[in-house]
Each structure stands twice: as C-alpha cells, then as structure tokens.
Amino acid sequence: MKILRISTRLYPDIGGPAKQAFLLSKFCSKNKIKCINITSKPFKSSTNKITKINSNFEIHYLPFIAPGVNSGPFRLILFFFKFFIYGLLKALVINFKNKIDLIHCHSPPPTGFISYLLSKIFKVPYIYTIHGLDYPNTYILNLDMNYITRNANKSFSVSRRIIEFIKNKFGIENISWFPNLIDTSEYFHYKSKDEKEILIKDLNLDNLLNKDDFIIVYIGHMLFLQKVKGMIDFLEAFSKFLSRIKDISEKNKIKLLYIGDGDFSPILIKKIKEYNLNQNIFFLGKRNDIKKILAISDLLGLTSYIEGFPNVILEAMASKVPCIASDVGEIKHIIKDNGFIVNAGDIYSIGKNIENFYFLSEDKRKHLMENVYKHVRYSSDINLQGKRLINIYYHLIKINSHKTN
C-alpha cells in the first residue's frame, strides 16, 4: 500500500497537526505501508531535497515555509495558492513514480483542495482530518466544508466540538472523531532521586533545580494572546499557592517552569518579573528536550482559553505527569478523572488544585501517576489505536478497487 500524506507542516515544524502527521506516517511505515509526505520546509535553512526517515517513509519538501498564525491575510492567501500549485505538481510527479493507493490530508487548507483534485485524477480515495478551524476567511471555510469535507471518502476531526459545529452549520454527517495519538513507549519518568539529578544535569538546569524540588511545568506556543492569558492565570494562582507555604526552605523547593516562545511571550516574561519570585519561577523559552523535562516534572499546567486537542497533555500523561487544565477543546475528554479540570480564568480553582496535588501523600500521588499513564496508554497509544486507521485505509482501498474494476 502507498499513502500520500499532505500537510502544510510536518515535525520538526511546530503544531499539533505537524506532530500527528509525522507520527502517523512513522507508524504506518513500520507496518510496511509506504508513506510519501508533501509539506512545507520546517525552517528557511532546511533542504528542498527528499528526506528519507526509513525505507517506507519519505518527505518531499516544497521550497518555502508555512506562515505564522499571526500573519496577515495577504500572506496567508499567497501561501494558499503557492502550496496548492507546488503541492499539486509535486504529487503528480510522485504518482508517476509511485502509484498512489490513497491520499490522507490534514488541515489547514489547501491540503484538502489538492487531495480532492488528485482523487479525481488518480481515481483513489482520500481522507481529510480537520485539526482546527483556522481559515484565512469564511469563503475558504465554506468551500472547504461544502466540497472537501463533504466529498471525502472519510472525514475526521480531533475535536468533538468541531464535529458538532460542522454538522450543525453545514449539515455534514460524513465526519467522525479520531483523536490525536502518541507513542507512549518514547516517554518516561524518573524512578529515583539520583536519576532525577542526572536528568537535571543533562538538561543543564542544575543551576536552577535540584533533585528534591517539586517541579511544575507549563509548555505552550505563545502565538495567541488567549494562550498567554491562561499562562498568566496559572502564574497568579501559583503565586497565591506559594504565599500559603510559610516554611522558606520548603517554599524554595517549589518551582514553576515556563517553556515555549511566540509573538506574545514578552507579555508573559514581563508579568513573571513583576512577581519577583526569582527562586521559584523560570522562563526557559523554546526547548528541544521536552521528554526529559516532562520526566523530571511532577505536574503540568495548561489553563488556556483556547485549545483543540493539545498534544502536550498526551505527552505529560505518557510521562506519568498529572495535569491541571482548563475545560476547553477536548481536554476534559483526554484527562477524564485522571487529573484536575478547571474553568478557564478560574484562578482560585487553579491554585486550590495545585495545593491539593502538592499535599497528596506519596502513595496517593504515585497512584494518580500510574492511573494517568494507564489511561493514556489505553485510549491514545498509537500502537493500539493506530491499527484502526490502517484498517480504514485498507477498507477504503478495497471499496475503491471494486468500483474501478
């Protein structure tokens, strides 16, 4: 089987869709399915050449990068047409060398428009996964829903709220929920204080942290003001929680790490300085060692005002790290009873839940950590749930072969 996957971004580029597209291709390639990916370059310095991850997984980069989410409408529309033309031509060349059996495209546009046209030319089925509703304008949104989503052989969304919106506004029934997945085998948590100390040194954070610290981490792209507002809410709640710890030596062992960058990061940095808690709160910026940072963490915060299906929640849970998160997007469905759900903006509840977790007995904390891991492994591990997607691929190809014969 040969799958053509089209996405505007692909890991190591940023964003949930980029990670998911890469993860799915990697998983399929290990199951003897050839996955050929078309995407933008992740960085300006990236090569335009074909990159082979393994014998069944190759990436064809288009000669430009995807614009940021805060780019103006002209740049977004220009990218739409550039990606459409270059992507279409690239796909035609790929199909000439490798007869494609199925196309799987991931939002945002114009991946669906390319796939719709190619499905007619190649006479193959296509799947469309909608990760969010970030469209340059309502005209493209309407086209994407009424033509691409409606006519796809199978449409998915990672968010049940998005599905509800699409069904109610556009009357489209051919769409179902398929969650973001994770390879839990790639994540871990420290097993001893000595191991934690080694990890802290490997991270070059031994000047800020030590093995006896209680570490809270907040990871996010600071590309939207609403996301940074949620980070500031967590900061305020953490400060109030900290003020209730009277023992100075105990207080100095409680740390909050902010990780990420983006256009709105200066707002957060300024706010952190205002609290003057230099022993407790650290802004680390962008990091490429998130797995190790999660491995030393005790708790993850994600109290944003907007989210879809945040991968960082899955990553934390796979690292046995419980989460305090706001009830937006799919978060409540991801965490269920294995963490702490608060309303966006509810600073009191955020602080109270930090306190509740901090004062859990060691046995209860370990019990919650194990439950967090078991839940994410059962519900979201790609080695279990990914087989469902492969079965869908085979099913659609089989139906298409009967139609064309």
Q: Which helix (H) or strand (E) holds 128?
A: strand 126-130
- 188 and 209 together in one domain: yes
Does 156 share its domain with 213? no
What's the pLDDT tens digit per position in 138-154? 899 999 999 999 999 99
Q: Are residues 160 and 208 in the same domain?
A: no
Quote the tokens at residue 42: 């992740």
| Token output for 9 | 């971004």
**3-class DSSP state for residue 169?**
helix
Same-domain check for residues 131 and 233: no
In the DSSP assignment, the letter for residue 94 is: H
- Closest CA relative to residue 30, chosen from 57, 3, 58, 59: 57
Q: Would you say residue 134 has pLDDT above 80?
A: no
pLDDT at residue 48, as a whole number: 75
109-118, 193-202, 301-310, 346-355: segment of lowest average pLDDT: 301-310
pLDDT at 47 (0 to 100): 75
How many domains does the chain fold into?
A: 2
Tell me: the pLDDT tens digits for 73-82?
889 889 999 9
Which of the 8 DSSP states describes residue 67?
P
Instruction: Determine the Cα–Cα distance for residues 303 and 347; give it in Å rounded to an integer.
Output: 9
CA angle, 63 as apex, 57 and 67 as ends, to 5°? 100
Same domain, 207 and 160: no
Characterize 317-329 residue by residue with b for buried, 16 or more Cβ atoms within 10 angstroms of its Cβ, and e for exposed: bbbbbbbbbbebb
Q: Do residues 125 and 201 both lie within one domain?
A: no
Residue 206's domain comprises 184-380
Q: Are residues 255 and 396 in the same domain?
A: no
200 is written with which tokens?
């802290």
Residues 319 and 251 in one domain: yes
Confidence label for 372 from pLDDT (cuts 50, 70 and 90): very high
Q: What is the pLDDT averaged over residues 201-211?
A: 96
CATH number at residue 345: 3.40.50.2000
Note whether 169 and 196 are same-domain residues. no
